[in-house]
């Protein structure tokens, strides 16, 4: 059940354009600025920055995933690839064994391309790249190989929202569905819990660029996502995430038609128990208030919520 190539932006690029983007992305690795940390280390010389990742794909796991948003999962699942390490480093990360502890292993570009083809062969509706920011050049090289071998399903860029604006602009014409988090509205909170005081400013700029590229989320007649922006916002205990400002920004500066997942799944992980109120799950009242704020802002496309 391979979708038609009209669904996939990377197959519409002019001849040679994808190869040019691969070379441009790989050149960044010589003085790495793939994320806002801008470590500027030469990863091609074996030096590591904050993400602790070299120049080959570093993958934790892959397979059809049925726990994602409904437009991604459909009947056959989202073809999810979890990339190891992370440049953001939240102290409450629910995938901390991957992001902080480095669970996973390197693989060749050819093998990553094969993984993409295998997921398509399983009937997955898309290739869902989880935490791709610091491995974007390696992903693009593997994608170019996979596209030459028949890959045709949409690419989902599933990221933390802490992205280099220049890197996101380079992805124009490649990514079909952007799925960033919008974790914090308050720079004090983002510094305290992710050591990234510039997170709110960065996230707002890159989300605007993502929306400029792909627009609001569009689906087929079965409700499967084809192209567009899908935003995630994890509700944190004690109002840490700043939900009111997050939903205001989305409604007023992106689009009231934005597809948003207001998530209630927070639970204490990694070092969260050392930092109250992150040492507890959110209450039903906190989640209901977050949904109410989204509705009040004018957002109507809320994943799993009847408005």
Q: What is the pLDDT of residues 82-129, one digit of tens each?
A: 999 999 989 999 999 999 999 999 999 999 999 999 999 999 999 999
CA gap 228, 225 in Å, rounded: 8
pTM value is: 0.96
Give the pLDDT confidence of 92-104 residue by residue, as tens digits. 999 999 999 999 9
Strand partners of residue 64: 79
Q: What was the pLDDT predicted at 166?
A: 97
Place of tokens 């192209």: 227
Please enumerate in sequence order all residues whose Cβ is within 8 A of that of 212, keeping only pairs 6 or more positions apart, or say none: none
What integer is the mean pLDDT of 171-177? 98
Give 30's pLDDT tier (boundaries 50, 70, 90): very high
Listing DSSP states for 143-181 in one string gives HHHHHHTT--SPEEEEE-S---HHHHHHTTTT-SEEEEB
CA gap 103, 95 in Å, rounded: 10
Whether the predicted pLDDT of 3 surpasses 50: no
Residue 59's nearest CA partner among 110, 8, 112 is 112
Give 37's pLDDT tier (boundaries 50, 70, 90): very high
Q: Which domains does the chain have, with CATH numbers?
A: 5-297 (3.20.20.70)
């Amino acid at each position: 059940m391979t979708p038609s190539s009209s669904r996939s932006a990377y197959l519409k690029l002019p001849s040679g354009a994808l190869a040019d983007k691969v070379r441009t992305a790989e050149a960044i690795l010589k003085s790495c600025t793939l994320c806002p940390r801008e470590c500027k280390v030469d990863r091609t010389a074996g030096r590591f920055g904050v993400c602790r990742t070299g120049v080959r794909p570093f993958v934790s796991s892959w397979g059809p995933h049925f726990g994602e948003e409904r437009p991604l999962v459909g009947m056959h699942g989202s073809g999810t690839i979890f990339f190891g390490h992370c440049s953001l480093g939240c102290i409450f990360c629910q995938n901390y064994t991957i992001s902080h502890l480095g669970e996973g292993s390197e693989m060749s570009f050819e093998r990553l391309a094969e993984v993409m083809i295998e997921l398509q062969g399983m009937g997955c509706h898309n290739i869902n790249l989880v935490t791709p920011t610091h491995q974007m050049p390696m992903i693009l090289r593997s994608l170019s190989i996979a596209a030459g071998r028949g890959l045709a399903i949409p690419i989902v860029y599933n990221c933390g929202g802490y992205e280099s604006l220049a890197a996101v602009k380079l992805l124009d014409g490649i990514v079909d569905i952007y799925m960033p988090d919008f974790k914090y509205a308050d720079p004090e909170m983002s510094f305290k819990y992710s050591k990234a005081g510039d997170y709110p400013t960065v996230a707002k700029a890159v989300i605007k660029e993502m929306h400029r590229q792909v627009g609001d989320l569009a689906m087929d007649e079965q409700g499967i996502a084809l192209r567009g922006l899908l935003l995630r916002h994890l509700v944190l205990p004690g109002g840490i995430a700043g939900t009111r400002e997050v939903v205001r920004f989305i409604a007023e500066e992106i689009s009231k038609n934005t597809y948003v997942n207001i998530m209630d799944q927070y639970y204490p992980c990694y070092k969260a128990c050392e930092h109250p109120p992150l040492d507890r799950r959110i209450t039903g009242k906190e989640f209901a208030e977050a949904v109410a704020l989204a509705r009040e802002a004018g957002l109507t496309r809320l994943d799993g919520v009847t408005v």
